[in-house]
Amino acid sequence: MKKTLSFALVHFSIAFSVTYLFTGSLVAGGLSALVEPCLNTLAAHFHDRYWAHRERRQAFLAA
């Protein structure tokens, strides 16, 4: 769990820093640090589900 929280902190920091550097806005940086990691987490969940389904299907077809 510590590793996950550490990665989340790094992710939030990068999202904030990149947006702040491009826009100069603390608000935009903060919004990006909140929204982007949440959307990325959802995308990763569905991406993992797709690949798990694909692997199960390939195993079934190979049997």
Domain span at residue 21 reads 2-62
Residue type, 12: F
Token pair for 2: 């510590």
Task: Tell me the C-alpha distance between 15 and 21, whole Å.
Answer: 10
pTM of the model: 0.64
Average pLDDT over residues 15-40: 93
The answer, yes or no, to whether residue 35 has pLDDT greater than 90, is: yes
Which one has a higher pLDDT value, 38 or 55?
Answer: 55
The answer, yes or no, to whether residue 11 has pLDDT greater than 90, is: no
The answer, yes or no, to whether residue 49 has pLDDT greater than 90, is: yes
Q: How many domains does the chain have?
A: 1
